[in-house]
A and B are shown apart, each in its own frame.
Chain A
Amino acid sequence: QKEVEQNSGPLSVPEGAIASLNCTYSDRGSQSFFWYRQYSGKSPELIMFIYSNGDKEDGRFTAQLNKASQYVSLLIRDSQPSDSATYLCAVNTGNQFYFGTGTSLTVIP
């Protein structure tokens, strides 16, 4: 079982819709959780991090963490074509950082 699992997609949503990206992790001791955005040919850039159960909002982005279910998600409201990218979930277990393989998102104008 992989440490971090994501649906590779592709996920397509129309412009203005809510995009929902999901991630599960295997280590119950994981401490911190991150979402990165990666445009094609570019390096990952941090969007958000979350440490505690519940929701964390930053502009159009909301990260949701449920440690009991070992589940973390990213919601993108009012999706824009510029949001089209691969989204990487990352988990820090205290010993190591693990990345998922990413979900490809396409926002259709």
Chain B
Amino acid sequence: DVKVTQSSRYLVKRTGEKVFLECVQDMDHENMFWYRQDPGLGLRLIYFSYDVKMKEKGDIPEGYSVSREKKERFSLILESASTNQTSMYLCASSPSDLADTQYFGPGTRLTVL
């Protein structure tokens, strides 16, 4: 069974703080993704990575950065959190074929005050 874990289920931060969200997958998947999900807007892709140290911008990368130093770990960084980054953050991974299924972690509900 594919397992994708995220470092926190719930997180509360203050405006201006630097926030790290971590994601780990145990299936040796090549591709990893970060999404945010907001009511009425669905899932929106922030960044994805198809290999270690490689990253590609998604649809809404502004205000975010990512790091992939090891194959199994993909981190999302909010350099200076803002209230409009309050959201559910979902990490996903998929095998080498980008057309393949994405498997999701449990999500992190981030609130920025």
In the complex, the answer to whether A42 meets B107 with C-beta atoms within 8 Å is: yes
Kindly state the interface size class of chain B when it binds its partner: 10 to 19
Q: Mark contacts of A89-102 with chain B using CB atoms, 8 A cut-off: 1 yes-contact digit, 0 otherwise.
A: 01010111101111
In contact, A46 and B103 (Cβ under 8 angstroms): yes
Binary CB contact string for chain B from 93 to 110 against chain A (1 if under 8 A, 0 otherwise)? 000001111111111000
Mark out the residues of chain B between 34 and 63 whose CB falls within 8 Å of any chain A CB in the assembled complex.
35, 40-43, 45, 58
Residues on A lying within 8 angstroms of B by beta carbon are 8, 31-32, 34, 42-46, 49, 88, 90, 92, 94-97, 99-102
Could you list which residues of chain B lie within 8 angstroms of chain A, going by C-beta atoms? 33, 35, 40-43, 45, 58, 90, 98-107
Q: Is the CB of A43 within 8 A of B107?
A: yes
The verdict on A92 contacting B99 (CB below 8 Å), with A97-B45, A101-B42, A102-B42 known, is yes
Which of A49, A96, A100 contacts B45, CB < 8 Å? Answer: A96
Bound-state Cα–Cα, A94 to B100, Å: 10
- Which residue from A43, A49, A101 sits with its C-beta under 8 Å from B104? A43
Q: Are B105 and A43 in contact (CB under 8 A)?
A: yes
User: How distant is B13 from chain A, measured CB to nearest CB, in Å?
Assistant: 20
21 A/B residue pairs, CB under 8 Å, sorted by A:
A8-B40, A32-B99, A34-B101, A42-B106, A43-B90, A43-B104, A43-B105, A43-B106, A44-B43, A44-B104, A45-B104, A46-B103, A92-B98, A92-B99, A94-B99, A95-B98, A97-B33, A97-B45, A99-B42, A100-B42, A101-B40
